[in-house]
Chain A
Amino acid sequence: MTESSSFQRVLPVADLPAGAKKPLSIDGRPLLLCNANGKLHAIANVCSHNEKPLERGRVGNGWIACPTHGARFDLVTGKAMCLPATQPIAVYDVRVVDDWIEVAVPV
Chain B
Amino acid sequence: MSEVKEDQRQAAAASKGEARCPGAPSTQEIIAADKVAAPGWVRSESYRFLGDEDISKDRYIDAAYAQREIDTLWKKTWQFACREEHIPEVGDYHVYDLGPYSFIITRVAQDDIRAYYNACLHRGTKLRASGTEGNAEEFKCSFHGWTWNLDGSHKETLCSWDFPHVDFKKLTLPQAKVERLGGFVFINMDPQAPTLADYFGKEAKAHIDAWKLENRYVYLHVAKHLPCNWKLAIDAFLEAYHVIETHPQVAPSNGDANTQYDVYGEHVNRFISPLGVVSPHLYGKVSEQDVLNQFTLGDSSALGDTKFTLKDGGTARSVMAEMFRGMFEQATNTDLSKVSDSELLDCFSYTVFPNVFLFPGISLPMVYRFRPDPQDHRRCLYEVLFLRPVPKDGTRPMPAEPIHLEDHQSFKEAEGMDPGFGAILDQDTDNLILQQQGLEASAKSGLTLGNYQEIRVRHFENAVSKYVA
| In the bound complex, CA of A49 to CA of B145 (Å) | 14
| In the bound complex, CA of A58 to CA of B94 (Å) | 12
Name the residue in B128, B400, B401 with the highest tally of chain A Cβ atoms < 10 Å from its Cβ.
Answer: B128
A84 contacts across to B, CB distance below 8 A:
129, 142
Q: Does B137 contact A (CB under 8 A)?
A: yes
| In the bound complex, CA of A72 to CA of B94 (Å) | 12
| In the bound complex, CA of A19 to CA of B99 (Å) | 35
Q: Which of B131, B133, B142, B400 contacts A69 (CB 8 A)?
A: B142
A-contacting residues, B94-150, CB 8 Å: 127-137, 140-142
List the B residue with the shortest CB-CB distance to A56: B137
User: In the complex, are the beta carbons of B132 and A61 less than 8 A apart?
Assistant: no
**A58-B92, A84-B142 are contacts. A67–B399 as well, Cβ < 8 Å?**
no
Q: Which of B131, B137, B141, B401 contacts A60 (CB 8 A)?
A: B401
User: In the complex, are the beta carbons of B137 and A61 less than 8 A apart?
Assistant: no
| In the bound complex, CA of A50 to CA of B141 (Å) | 12
Give min CB distance, A80 to chain B, whole Å.
10
User: In the complex, are the beta carbons of B129 and A70 less than 8 A apart?
Assistant: yes
Chain A residues bordering chain B, tally (CB within 8 A): 22
User: In the complex, are the beta carbons of A58 and B135 less than 8 A apart?
Assistant: yes
Q: Does B398 contact A (CB under 8 A)?
A: yes
Q: Which of B91, B134, B400 contacts A61 (CB 8 A)?
A: B400
| In the bound complex, CA of A81 to CA of B95 (Å) | 14
Give min CB distance, B148 to chain A, whole Å.
13
User: In the complex, are the beta carbons of B137 and A72 less than 8 A apart?
Assistant: no
User: In the complex, are the beta carbons of B140 and A68 less than 8 A apart?
Assistant: yes
User: In the complex, are the beta carbons of A61 and B398 less than 8 A apart?
Assistant: yes
Q: Which of A57, A58, A61, A83 contacts B399 (CB 8 A)?
A: A61
User: In the complex, are the beta carbons of A65 and B140 less than 8 A apart?
Assistant: no
**A58-B133, A65-B134, A84-B142 are contacts. A70–B128 as well, Cβ < 8 Å?**
yes
| In the bound complex, CA of A70 to CA of B106 (Å) | 13
Chain B proximity mask over A44-75: 1 for CB below 8 Å, otherwise 0: 00000110000011101111011111111000
User: In the complex, are the beta carbons of B133 and A72 less than 8 A apart?
Assistant: yes
- Chain A-chain B contacts (Cβ-Cβ < 8 Å), number: 55
User: In the complex, are the beta carbons of A49 and B137 less than 8 A apart?
Assistant: no
User: In the complex, are the beta carbons of A62 and B142 less than 8 A apart?
Assistant: no
Give min CB distance, A102 to chain B, whole Å.
27
Q: Does A10 contact B (CB under 8 A)?
A: no
| In the bound complex, CA of A28 to CA of B93 (Å) | 33
Name the residue in B89, B91, B398 with the highest tally of chain A Cβ atoms < 10 Å from its Cβ.
Answer: B398
User: In the complex, are the beta carbons of A37 and B135 less than 8 A apart?
Assistant: no
**A49-B142, A84-B142 are contacts. A67–B134 as well, Cβ < 8 Å?**
yes
User: In the complex, are the beta carbons of A67 and B137 less than 8 A apart?
Assistant: yes
List the B residue with the shortest CB-CB distance to A71: B129
Give min CB distance, B87 to chain A, whole Å.
10
B137 contacts across to A, CB distance below 8 A:
56, 67
**A37-B398, A60-B401 are contacts. A72–B132 as well, Cβ < 8 Å?**
yes
| In the bound complex, CA of A70 to CA of B93 (Å) | 10
B-contacting residues, A76-94, CB 8 Å: 81-84
B132 contacts across to A, CB distance below 8 A:
65, 70, 72, 81-82
Give min CB distance, B393 to chain A, whole Å.
15
Give min CB distance, A48 to chain B, whole Å.
13
A50 contacts across to B, CB distance below 8 A:
142
| In the bound complex, CA of A65 to CA of B104 (Å) | 14
| In the bound complex, CA of A56 to CA of B136 (Å) | 9
B141 contacts across to A, CB distance below 8 A:
69
Give min CB distance, A40 to chain B, whole Å.
17
| In the bound complex, CA of A60 to CA of B221 (Å) | 15
**A37-B398, A58-B92, A60-B398 are contacts. A66–B134 as well, Cβ < 8 Å?**
yes
Give min CB distance, A70 to chain B, whole Å.
4
Give min CB distance, B386 to chain A, whole Å.
15
B133 contacts across to A, CB distance below 8 A:
58, 60, 65, 72
Name the residue in B130, B136, B401 with the highest tally of chain A Cβ atoms < 10 Å from its Cβ.
Answer: B136
B400 contacts across to A, CB distance below 8 A:
61
| In the bound complex, CA of A65 to CA of B142 (Å) | 14
User: In the complex, are the beta carbons of B142 and A57 less than 8 A apart?
Assistant: no
List the B residue with the shortest CB-CB distance to A58: B135
List the A residue with the shortest CB-CB distance to B128: A70
B401 contacts across to A, CB distance below 8 A:
60-63
| In the bound complex, CA of A53 to CA of B411 (Å) | 38
B129 contacts across to A, CB distance below 8 A:
70-72, 82-84
User: In the complex, are the beta carbons of A70 and B399 less than 8 A apart?
Assistant: no
| In the bound complex, CA of A62 to CA of B398 (Å) | 11
**A49-B142, A58-B92, A83-B129 are contacts. A72–B134 as well, Cβ < 8 Å?**
yes
| In the bound complex, CA of A65 to CA of B128 (Å) | 11
Report 19 cross-chain contacts, Cβ distance below 8 Å, ordered by A residue.
A50-B142, A56-B135, A57-B135, A58-B91, A58-B133, A58-B134, A58-B135, A60-B398, A61-B400, A63-B401, A67-B135, A68-B140, A70-B127, A70-B128, A72-B132, A81-B132, A82-B132, A83-B129, A84-B142
13 new A-B contacts, CB < 8 A, other than A56-B137, A62-B401, A81-B132, are A58-B89, A60-B133, A61-B400, A65-B133, A65-B134, A65-B135, A67-B134, A70-B127, A70-B132, A72-B129, A82-B131, A83-B129, A84-B129
What 5 A-B pairs have minimum CB-CB distances, sorted nearest first? Answer: A65-B134, A58-B135, A82-B129, A69-B142, A83-B129
